[in-house]
Structures are given as structure tokens and as C-alpha cells.
Structure 1
Amino acid sequence: MERGPDDTEPLAATLVRYADGPDRATLHPPDEPPLADSWLSVDARVLVSTAAFR
């Protein structure tokens, strides 16, 4: 299973944690570039990533 930035939680949990944080519009750790420009792009990337690991 792919791990998040701190290697202690799954990547999906990391994405959810950042999505629920104060910086919801960008959905990325403060020290990293944005994953996508819109929620649609983020949703598509999460779906593709999830499907790739199954």
C-alpha cells in the first residue's frame, strides 16, 4: 500500500486529512505543489490511483 508523506498512514487518509483542513481548495501539503486545479481533477486522480493499487 502506498504511504502518505509521513510514512505512517495510507495515502488516501493523507488526502482526506488535507481535504478536511483549512486549505481545502488546494488539497496538498503546504510545502508541496498542488495536485490539481479543481476538485474534479482531484477526484479523477484519486479514482485512478485507487484503481491502480487494487
Structure 2
Amino acid sequence: MKPRAIAKHVGILTAPDSFLHAYERLGVIEEPLTPSWRRRIAFAFLFPQR
């Protein structure tokens, strides 16, 4: 995960400080959205509300 690199990972925010994502060998997990992960966010959007 280097600056200007192509994004190869996706996460879904489940609460203000936690998110879901998948590791190849661990599967889908929910974990804290730490400062380390926050620095890696390249883009964010909201799903349309009904």
C-alpha cells in the first residue's frame, strides 16, 4: 500500500470506528478502524438512502 498505488482492497464501514474487510487466509473480519487503516483510505462514498 504505497502512495499513488492502485487500490487492491475494499472495506465497509460498520460504525464510526470499525469496518469489515477480508484477508486472504483469515476470511471476512470486523476490526477497529485504526489510524494506520485511516491513512490508507483512498476513496469513500455513501450508499443511496431510500
Alignment TM-score, normalising by the size of structure 2: 0.25
More helix by share: 1
**Which protein shows a greater Rg?**
2
Alignment TM-score, normalising by the size of structure 1: 0.25
Q: Which has the higher contact order (CA 8 A, sep 6+)?
A: 2
More strand by share: 2
